[in-house]
Amino acid sequence: MPYSDKVFLDYPDETTTEKPASTGEIREFIHPTYGKQLYRLVRNTSGGAIVAGRAVTFASGSSLNVAYTTANQPAVTVAGITVVDIADDAYAWVVCSGEVLAASNAAVVANTPVITAGVAGQVNDTAVTTVEHCIIGVFTAAVGGALPVTIRVSGIM
């Protein structure tokens, strides 16, 4: 009989200075509001704290170390969206698939593609037609300004 190789995450909002899993580890979590989410282990090596609700990208040549994304970051380099503040040199889990709350840097329209905005890991929906390779998900709701907004992350597994 086959067995499940899924590993569930108990506390996706915890950070630690000790590496809690292997590099590249992806775990599943059932969020009470957003439903099924997949999380990836990362380590903040940006030189400062990373705030919750922000997109992070892998450092060059790494599958673990991250910093804030920049504008129009290619989707293949984005690790996920933070759900907790991550101190410098700390490990944490980021959402790499599923719905999550993210910080927009301007007003966004529901059902439009999500790209990185370049302002400390914030996201936006502008000029997507010229940067299709940078789409990391879709906005599930609209916001009228630079506010937290729900996005469905996809394509960064």
- Amino acid residing at 80: G
Distance of CA 134 to the CA centre of its chain: 13
Tens place of pLDDT per residue across the chain (157 aa) = 455 567 888 889 999 999 999 998 999 999 999 999 999 999 999 999 999 999 999 999 999 999 999 998 999 999 999 999 999 999 999 999 999 999 999 999 999 999 998 789 999 987 666 778 889 999 999 998 888 999 999 978 7
Please answer whether residues 157 and 106 qualify as being in contact, where contact means their C-beta atoms are separated by less than 8 angstroms. Answer: no
* pTM for this model (two decimals): 0.93
